[in-house]
A and B are shown apart, each in its own frame.
Chain A
Amino acid sequence: MNTLLRTEDLTKSFTLHLRGGLRLPVLGGVDLVVDAGTCVVLSGPSGAGKSTLLRSLYGNYRADTGKILVRHQGSIVDIASADPRTILAVRRHTMAYVSQFLRVVPRVPALDIVAEALIGRGPSVEDARGLAGSMLLSLNIPRRLHGIPPATFSGGEQQRVNLARGFITNHPILLLDEPTASLDADNREVVVRMIQEAKARGTAIVAICHDIDVRDQIADRLFPVAPIREAA
């Protein structure tokens, strides 16, 4: 199979220095394999470490030990040991992450937030804005909202702006944290279709998704993430 993302014996813990150096182990020995055109859904109870795993894959959290191997422009990059500039290049070209919450520069209109993801990837500014507009429309964000910064948008609208930004670039690897959590049924369907289309294009997807209907429609495989029980 054509593996785009793989972890080897990945471990992650947090040390809370403000709590007397309390150490919280979260991930132990994670071996995850994600092939092109497949969607792996992380499963497990809240607090099991699903988001921690997803953020570690993106390089947002730093792994303690182990490897996070990503196929990036013809070579393999280990996110766990790569320097910051390499991780930024992987994020720009190879691996996109759609978080649950939108975090953007204040005052930047929704359209530009989405278009910006395309800048530097080929399209001109005008083309990028055109594509961003279509993407927002397909996610049912009406044109009258495109020129408005999303700070005042509803949770569901913000999530769809976030999704638009994540999907518009066709990154080969997509990490989705609860992509449908604040969406109504119609929009859930739109997102499910976008995920299926991305898979058909060969995108490798790792998702966290508590909605069982959505999960059944997008998942090729479940990957259990279990809380670590530390030996006392």
Chain B
Amino acid sequence: MSDDPILSARGLTLSFGAIPALLNVDIELYLGEIVAIVGESGSGKTTLLNVLSGHLAPRSGIVTYRDPDGAPHDVHAMPSPMLRGLQRSDWGFVHQDPRRNLRMNVSAGGNVGERLMAQGARHYGDIRAQALDWLEQVEIDADRIDDLPRTFSGGMLQRLQIARTLVTHPRLVFMDEPTGGLDVSVQARLLDLIRSLVARLGVAVVLVTHDIAVARLLGHRIAVMQRGRVVETGLTDQVLDDPRHPYTQLLVSSVLQA
């Protein structure tokens, strides 16, 4: 683990009209760790993810990204070609709805290969080989490589999105409810997949989820949000087993026991 965070945010504040979406949020992320952001709908989790990933500018506060050479960059002050370059290669975004990230009229292999080509890869054989390798890593049968995503189930689409995201070996991945809307059995498989890929590739992940169980299984650290504030943060098992803030106590005690 490196000693400098790959991503750090200080004093993020943003409101939509009169509604505060983020209030003075600080967060840090290191390579090799997953930070889970939990909270109910409207607590500001997705807004935070969008601000951290440069999709939405805060009213005040700063997001700093440290590149592979250790140089810091202000995410909201960098030239937009540079930000788009990062979003295409060094960063990845996994949406709850994989259709937002996938091109439905391009084959599965094409979806994975496209991101490599956007990075400059030109050799067709190499691109196809890497696409195949990634389909295998996310447990999609090789003989589906030329099929269109629209013939895939929800769980397969999500795995295809993950393959498309990770093929460029990003160092930083943003995930917004990656297991939301999936059957429980599919969800378990996906959780295991995300966990092992992240551990093996050593990437840093910001994971937004409303599901405490997902946060517990995947998150090294957790940040609990309520009405735009991070009300509690720390080691995941600490925060969930020994919650201190009234809202975290409510959240933890409201989880159904299976």
Interface residues of A (CB under 8 A from B): 14-18, 55, 59-62, 84-85, 87-88, 105-108, 119
Residues of A within 8 A of B17 (CB): none
Q: Among A15, A18, A88, A105, which residue has its beta carbon within 8 angstroms of that of B192?
A: A105
Q: Among A15, A84, A108, which residue has its beta carbon within 8 angstroms of that of B244?
A: A15
Interface residues of B: mostly helix, strand, loop or mixed?
A: helix
Q: Among B33, B189, B195, B249, which residue has its beta carbon within 8 angstroms of that of A85?
A: B33
Residues of B within 8 A of A119 (CB): 199
Count A-B contacts at CB 8 Å.
Answer: 50
Q: Which of B1, B235, B245 has the most CB of A within 10 A?
A: B235
Residues of A within 8 A of B217 (CB): 105
Q: Among B188, B244, B245, which residue has its beta carbon within 8 angstroms of that of A62?
A: B244
Whether B237 pairs with A60 at a CB distance below 8 angstroms is yes
Whether A61 pairs with B253 at a CB distance below 8 angstroms is no
A119 to B200, CA, bound (A): 10
Residues of B within 8 A of A14 (CB): 242
Contacts A84-B221, A107-B188, A107-B192 known; 18 new A-B pairs at CB < 8 A: A14-B242, A15-B244, A18-B246, A18-B249, A59-B235, A60-B237, A60-B238, A60-B241, A61-B238, A61-B241, A62-B234, A62-B244, A84-B235, A85-B33, A87-B235, A88-B235, A105-B191, A106-B191
B30 within 8 A of A: yes
CB distance from A57 to the nearest CB of B (A): 13
Which 5 pairs from chain A and chain B are nearest by CB? Answer: A17-B246, A106-B188, A61-B242, A84-B235, A107-B188
Whether A84 pairs with B249 at a CB distance below 8 angstroms is no
A-B contact pairs, 22 of them (CB 8 A): A16-B249, A59-B235, A59-B238, A60-B241, A60-B242, A61-B241, A61-B242, A62-B242, A62-B244, A84-B220, A84-B234, A84-B235, A85-B33, A105-B191, A105-B192, A105-B217, A106-B188, A106-B191, A106-B192, A107-B188, A107-B192, A108-B192
